[in-house]
Amino acid sequence: MDAVLLNGQSLTLKDVENVARRGYKVEIAPEAKELIKECAESVRKWVEEGRIVYGVTTGFGDLASVVIPRDKSRQLQENLLMSHSCGFGEAYPEEVVRAIMLLRVNTLTRGYSGISLATLQQMVDYLNAGIHPVVPQQGSVGASGDLCPLSHVAISLIGKGDVVYKGKKMTAADAIAAEGLKPVELQPKEGLALNNGTTVMTAVAALCIIDAMKMVKNADIAAAMSAEALHAVPYAFDRRTHDLRPQHGQGIVAENMRRLLEGSEIVEKYKKDRVQDAYSLRCLPQVHGASRDAIGYVKDKVEIEINSVTDNPIIFHRDGEAISGGNFHGQPMAMAMDFFGIACAEFANIAERRIARLVDHKLSDLPPFLVSDSGVNSGFMIPQYTAAAIVSEDKVLAHPSVVDSIPTSANQEDHVSMGGYSARKGRQILDNANKVIAIEMLNAAQGMDFRAPLKPGKGTRAAFAEYRKHVPFYEKDQVMQPLMLKSLELVEAGTIISAAEAAVGELK
């Protein structure tokens, strides 16, 4: 298997996905190794010279004025990691932990952090051996980055804390011994280099962006299927309209809809009967498009952050300086991931409105609740409730975390980003959006069956055919949840996207 070569400047989202989800190995680039060695040697000399450097020969946070004796500089780093390993809550999934470790190694390979090559190589060895620290999700305020969760990663390097190794939870010491490794002995600055930065929130954000690229296509396909089931008219997708308001995402969604609906006998039959649809169909390009643009903004921010130096102090060893700045502050990621959550919530919000139209026979001209012999059968009545419940949940989650700063460290760190929670709830809203899209597909496919023998468009026909291979027509009431779970599985796997794109080419 190919390895991802890390130099701190060229990591891509595809690399993150390959390492986090496909088990790719990682290596430190040779040129990066030299920079790492140079920087670590400079820090060592500064300690010997008795220079005052924050976090190297001083305490941390509000204790920055406390000078640490030279013979206690190593203990200072170990104490830092142990005291900061104080998280609560459910542990991050393995793929997130792998992404965290990857991004931490990548930023430290830039050679501005003072970490030794031996310590950094230990984290590389963990990744390659599948030793994954147990990292609680609660505890970061995104101030000096993700101090608490990163400390849970870092303590494993010194043989402390718990890890998951070969599918089993065990102590880090046991996993290290099983791999023939030894705990590292931290050098000056190394604890701070390991636990100070925006790595955790950025790792979560990176995986969110990767998955959102799939979600936006599923949302367009589900909407196009609903357009068929609701015998929509095509005027709202006319290219000329969108050329007059050249918002990037809006134009993409309109084009996707035109391609998916091309050749639809349903749309052709009904377009002479009325001139417009409800907003959930007519304004679909504008709503989906705005959310796409928001996600594009977040993607740009994440791609910058995964190749940035975000710890403190930054060691400009060739200039002989250590600068205590604020690159650790999570504001860029916090604000971006709040925006991401809002964008994903709107995909679910408008999808639920189309679901509600599909089950309302007064609006859809379909059987009540999309089932024959309704009354005896409740049909698709309650999946819409589920979608409504999820959308309501999203409205609470979409409240921005970044505006809720809370002072820490005796008011030395008097403004924090809350980026850790921004990223976590962004993930939850994305997962919820996929669930609502899966419900929409389930409803839309049922509605499309009732439009036969009229044929849907080229793309929607292919999507519908693939969907029906896995989820049958709902003839009478049965246990509904298995059908919803299968629908969600198809959405998350990208199965329906592949079918549609095989018919109309790659969607944007």
Is pLDDT at 294 greater than 80 in this prediction?
yes
For range 470-497, the mean pLDDT: 97
CA-based R_g, the chain, Å: 26
Is pLDDT at 64 greater than 70 in this prediction?
no
User: Whole-angstrom Cα distance, residue 502 to residue 497?
Assistant: 8
Q: Report the range of poorest mean pLDDT among 39-43, 280-284, 481-485.
A: 39-43
385 is catalytic: no
Is pLDDT at 67 greater than 80 in this prediction?
no
Which domains does the chain carry?
Answer: 3-197 (1.10.275.10), 204-403+429-504 (1.20.200.10)
Q: Which residue has the higher pLDDT, 441 or 267?
A: 441
Q: Is 189 helix (H, G, I), strand (E, B) or coil?
A: coil
* Per-residue model confidence (pLDDT) at position 269: 85
CA distances from 299 to 14, 19, 125, 295, 406 (A): 12, 18, 29, 6, 27
Tell me if 76 sits within 8 A of 191, measured CB to CB: yes
User: Whole-angstrom Cα distance, residue 53 to residue 60?
Assistant: 11
* Per-residue model confidence (pLDDT) at position 61: 67
* Short-list 139, 145, 133, CA closest to 98: 133
Q: What residue type is assigned to position 82 of the chain?
A: M
Cβ-based burial of 328 (10 A; exposed 0-12, middle 13-18, buried ≥19): buried
What number of residues does the chain have?
508
Helices 199-229 & 284-305 angle (0-180, nearest 10) = 160
User: Whole-angstrom Cα distance, residue 290 to residue 105?
Assistant: 35
Is pLDDT at 59 greater than 90 in this prediction?
no
For range 261-282, the mean pLDDT: 89
Give 188's pLDDT tier (boundaries 50, 70, 90): confident
CA distances from 109 to 236, 322, 412 (A): 50, 17, 29
pLDDT in tens, 380-419: 999 999 999 999 999 999 999 999 888 887 777 778 899 9
For 182, which DSSP code? -
* Per-residue model confidence (pLDDT) at position 62: 63
* Per-residue model confidence (pLDDT) at position 229: 97
For range 112-127, the mean pLDDT: 96
For range 16-25, the mean pLDDT: 97
Q: Which of 24, 54, 126, 474 is catalytic?
A: 54
For range 127-134, the mean pLDDT: 98
pLDDT in tens, 257-267: 999 999 999 99
Give 462's pLDDT tier (boundaries 50, 70, 90): very high
User: Whole-angstrom Cα distance, residue 330 to residue 405?
Assistant: 11
* Per-residue model confidence (pLDDT) at position 50: 79
* Per-residue model confidence (pLDDT) at position 331: 95
CA distances from 63 to 55, 58, 80, 115, 312 (A): 9, 7, 12, 22, 15
Q: Report the range of poorest mean pLDDT among 21-30, 138-147, 150-159, 454-463.
A: 138-147
As a whole number, the mean pLDDT across the chain is 94
The residue written with tokens 């599909």 in the block is 358
Non-local CB neighbours of 39 within 8 Å, separated by 6+ positions? 111, 112, 113, 114, 115, 315, 317
* Short-list 92, 103, 163, CA closest to 129: 163
pLDDT in tens, 238-254: 999 999 999 999 999 99
Tell me if 108 sits within 8 A of 89, measured CB to CB: no
Strand partners, 476: none
* Short-list 224, 242, 240, 241, CA closest to 280: 224
- Of all residues in the chain, what percent are helix, strand and coil, respectively (each to 5)? 60, 10, 30
* Per-residue model confidence (pLDDT) at position 1: 59
Q: Is 213 left (phi over 0), alpha (psi -120 to 50) or beta?
A: alpha
CA distances from 47 to 44, 51, 80, 322, 445 (A): 5, 6, 18, 12, 68
For range 46-58, the mean pLDDT: 80
For range 360-384, the mean pLDDT: 93
Helices 248-261 & 284-305 angle (0-180, nearest 10) = 120
Give 128's pLDDT tier (boundaries 50, 70, 90): very high
Tell me if 427 sits within 8 A of 341, measured CB to CB: no
Is pLDDT at 349 greater than 90 in this prediction?
yes
* Per-residue model confidence (pLDDT) at position 378: 95
For range 198-209, the mean pLDDT: 98
Q: Lay out the sheet containing 168-171: strands in order across.
A: 131-133, 162-165, 168-171
Q: What angle do CA 420, 424, 426 make, to 5 degrees?
A: 115
pLDDT in tens, 93-108: 999 999 999 999 999 9
* Per-residue model confidence (pLDDT) at position 199: 97
* Per-residue model confidence (pLDDT) at position 416: 87
